[in-house]
Chain A
Amino acid sequence: MSVIYLLISVSICVAVGFFIAFIIAVKSGQYDDDYTPSVRMLFDDETKNIPQKNNSPTEEKQV
């Protein structure tokens, strides 16, 4: 039964791992804006199907 020492230690380590991941996520500001990413993720397909035009850096009109 002494395997329980190992099992519990492993499970605590996993938990601590997730906890550290959470701290890193908060620190990097991921929880500051909880709305925009949910919209942004829907855009990816829209931008890909348009051919990229890198040729002419068009001069912008300044009204």
Chain B
Amino acid sequence: MTDQSCFHCGIEIPKNEEINFDEKKFCCAGCKTVYEIFSLHDLTCYYDFEKSPGATPQDIQGKYDFLDNEAISSKIIDFQEGNTAIVSLNIPHIHCSSCIWILENLNRIQPGISISQVNFPEKKVRITFNSDLVSLKSIAYLLSSIGYEPYISLENYETGKSNVDRSLTYKLGVAFFCFGNIMLLSFPEYFEIKEFWLDNYKPFFRILIFLLALPSFLYSASGYYVSAYKSIKSRMLNIDIPIALGIIVMFVRSTFDIVMNYGAGFFDSLTGLVFFMLLGKMFQIKTYSFLSFERDFKSYFPIAVTRINQDTSEESVPIYDVLEGNRLLIRNQELIPVDGILISEKAEIDYSFVTGEAVPITKKSGDKVFAGGKQIGKVIEMEVLHSVSQSYLTQLWSNEIFQKKVVQKHKTITDKISRYFTPILLLIAFSGFGYWIFIDANTAFNVFTAVLIVACPCALALTAPFTFGNILRIMGKQKMYLKNALVIEQLAKVDTLVFDKTGTITTNKKSNIVYEGIPISDEDSVLLKNVLRASNHPLSRMLYDFLPETKRIKIDEFEEITGKGILAFAEKKRIKIGSAAYVESPDLDTSEIEKTALHVRINDVYFGRFNFQNQYRDGLATLFLDLSKNYTLKVLSGDNDGERENLEKIVPEGTELIFNQKPEQKLEFIKKLQEKGQNVMMVGDGLNDAGALAQSNVGVSISENVNVFSPACDAILDANEFSRLKYFLKLSQKSILIIKMSFVLSLLYNVVGLGFAITGNLLPLVAAIIMPLSTITIVSFVTIMANYFSSSNLK
């Protein structure tokens, strides 16, 4: 920790602004207050686990008042019995061990809380409290006051208790239990020791093995029978058919062997196979529980809003109860949940969730305001035009693309191969049977079953899960989070890339500011910076950060005129900063008005304007140039084409640029490309891309902060890794290559095994060796290859 960073949150403290308290330095009063709270309750251990772990508490006055509404809070609370209540709250700030510690010691700050338990991967805290002593509202405020603001959205309102599906874990446990015990009990059989007492106990061992195999056969493997049955029904031969067939034949033959006292059967191989395949399934499922890929507008929207009643009283109401004609009160930083008309004089609305546009839009009284915007600044009043479900943005979700639940849009590579595999396998089995039936009926039966047993495509079925599981983890470490393994196959097939402009290829973290006009002297620059310092308008803040660091001077007079600009006096100069009309800019031609700019006038001289241009992401030009070699590139934008010229300079020739696209049009655009047979990857960020993301073959959402906002998609990419998009595409193609290579390898095993089987020599011992050997080779092969490809540069 350097001397100049805040003890609580670690932010660098600007000169002369530090607050000293208790021999510690703080960047603001908020951080200091949190420290005070903690030290008051002897909780300063918080700072021992991690350096500066905290977050500055936000000013959230009145934000959680809706929790007093019984109807709303009862929806959020998980459990209520007498005065004991349990609530799970989502806290995006949870990020380190200090967070866990402080949240699990909440009971020392707030009496009434008995237990609080953190689930770190899900970023949730589960609080058990006494509802007579403390209310949900005060818990929310307490958490906010210590910098752990809970995130409560409309989603919490609807979802009941979600049941976690643990059946795979049970199945795996059962399979492992059976497999391990059968292996132990089969040991005497492997060595064929002709010893009197071993022979004596053979039936006992075999009956035990049979009994132990039952749960594995009936329960653990049940998924394969169901899947095989479904695939026969839909006339799509998938990999589960030969697997199910192999397992069933193996079981029937082994039972027969034991009953007729021919041998020990293949129960060891059977249970081993089931276990390894379930293990592969488990490995493939890598979930990022702190991310959500299924988000719709519900996770953005607040759960309640303040309504102004006829008698001017204010009341928190659930959002679904908001009706046309109601008057709503929207506070600073609150989301506008419905379309409506602005009643207050002025509003600054930030549509960055919706469009990715960083600069807020100014609305005047009587203007239409759309749902999804965030109010910045003063409290505003608005009148509702449409209810939630009928608002402009939410209507996008009534599009059919969001309605149908597509389980699987395409055939996986494994299924494609098994379409040939299954008929060939049956052909070999029957021809072997046909050949032997004339020689010896008993051998014919043995050969037939042995073929189906040994050819059971265990290694084949393991290839894809282990390759994709590995790739999924490798990408996850590099901040590309995929929804599931199927996305990798889709990524490899993509041939057309469609990018959204604002927020996706531009960053909304900073704007590129260019000054045009008469040069500003150093003295005036100092003046400007000091004037801007007092303003809270986002454009002023951006310009303030852009201007060089200076000394502080006193501003004699300061006035901020909402929606217009700033008027200030300092050092006997009159400074006006603001819109073109306000500053009386001499050049008011129309083409320039579309650009976002701040104009400057000092005394009576018009100096010029600071233009805010889109800042494209680093490495964009290189990335586009690289990608254009292998992919068709297109840029879709909801904005007007004011940026066309700038953009054309960056993107390679032949890139299609389409402007003025509404969310529905974006969706239609993707659909049209797909009808032409193209595999489309959509890269977007805001809610307005949600339709296009859902429609596309692969929807990738770019997120500045992966913990918070991203629309429903197949993959979430951290914005800092944007320039590595090509790497991820390449890696997914390599993973398909790995799968193909290991398919060849596993087919070799099958050929060897078939050699034994068709000649009638498949002993249980041979099967017991081939099966795990092939599994281990395949698993290690794909793991090594996946890691090799991910670390090589992939030129």
Considering the chains assembled together, what is the distance between the CA atoms of A57 and B130 in angstroms? 14
Complex contact B177–A63 (CB within 8 A): no
With A1-B197, A33-B120, A63-B145: A15-B177 Cβ-Cβ less than 8 Å: yes
Nearest residue in B to A31 (C-beta to C-beta)? B169
Which of A's residues lie within 8 Å of B, judged by CB? Answer: 1, 4-5, 8, 12, 15, 19, 22-23, 26-27, 29, 31-36, 39-40, 42-43, 46-47, 50-51, 53, 57-58, 60-63
Kindly list 7 other residue pairs between chains A and B, CB separation below 8 angstroms, not including A26-B166, A26-B169, A47-B45: A4-B201, A31-B169, A62-B138, A62-B141, A63-B33, A63-B57, A63-B61
* Cβ contacts under 8 Å, B549 to chain A: none
Complex contact A60–B138 (CB within 8 A): yes
Considering the chains assembled together, what is the distance between the CA atoms of A22 and B197 in angstroms? 35
How far in angstroms is the closest Cβ of chain A from B704?
24
Considering the chains assembled together, what is the distance between the CA atoms of A62 and B411 in angstroms? 56
Complex contact A58–B97 (CB within 8 A): no
**8 closest residue pairs by CB, A with B:** A36-B120, A57-B111, A62-B141, A33-B119, A35-B120, A39-B97, A19-B177, A50-B42
How far in angstroms is the closest Cβ of chain A from B194?
16
Nearest residue in B to A18 (C-beta to C-beta)? B177
How far in angstroms is the closest Cβ of chain A from B145?
5
* Cβ contacts under 8 Å, A58 to chain B: 40-41
* Cβ contacts under 8 Å, A8 to chain B: 185, 204, 208
Complex contact A53–B41 (CB within 8 A): yes
How far in angstroms is the closest Cβ of chain B from A50?
5
Which of B's residues lie within 8 Å of A, judged by CB? Answer: 30, 33, 37, 40-42, 45, 48, 57, 59-61, 97, 100-101, 104-105, 108-111, 117-122, 138, 141-142, 144-145, 164, 166, 169-170, 173-174, 177, 180-181, 185, 197, 200-201, 204, 208
Complex contact A47–B120 (CB within 8 A): no
Complex contact B170–A23 (CB within 8 A): yes
Considering the chains assembled together, what is the distance between the CA atoms of A4 and B181 in angstroms? 15
With A29-B164, A39-B120, A57-B111: A12-B100 Cβ-Cβ less than 8 Å: no
Complex contact B100–A60 (CB within 8 A): no
Complex contact A40–B48 (CB within 8 A): no
* Cβ contacts under 8 Å, A33 to chain B: 119-122
Considering the chains assembled together, what is the distance between the CA atoms of A60 and B45 in angstroms? 20
Complex contact B42–A53 (CB within 8 A): yes
Q: Would you mind naming 28 contact pairs between A and B with Cβ atoms under 8 Å apart? A: A1-B197, A1-B200, A1-B201, A4-B201, A8-B208, A12-B208, A15-B177, A19-B173, A19-B177, A26-B166, A26-B169, A31-B169, A32-B164, A33-B119, A39-B120, A40-B118, A47-B45, A53-B41, A58-B40, A60-B37, A60-B109, A60-B142, A62-B138, A62-B141, A63-B59, A63-B61, A63-B144, A63-B145
Considering the chains assembled together, what is the distance between the CA atoms of A47 and B109 in angstroms? 14
Complex contact A39–B100 (CB within 8 A): yes
Considering the chains assembled together, what is the distance between the CA atoms of A39 and B412 in angstroms? 40
* Cβ contacts under 8 Å, B110 to chain A: 60
How far in angstroms is the closest Cβ of chain B from A17?
11
* Cβ contacts under 8 Å, A43 to chain B: 100-101, 104
Partner of B37, one of A15, A29, A61: A61
- Among A46, A51, A62, max chain B CB count under 10 A is at A62
Nearest residue in A to B48 (C-beta to C-beta)? A46
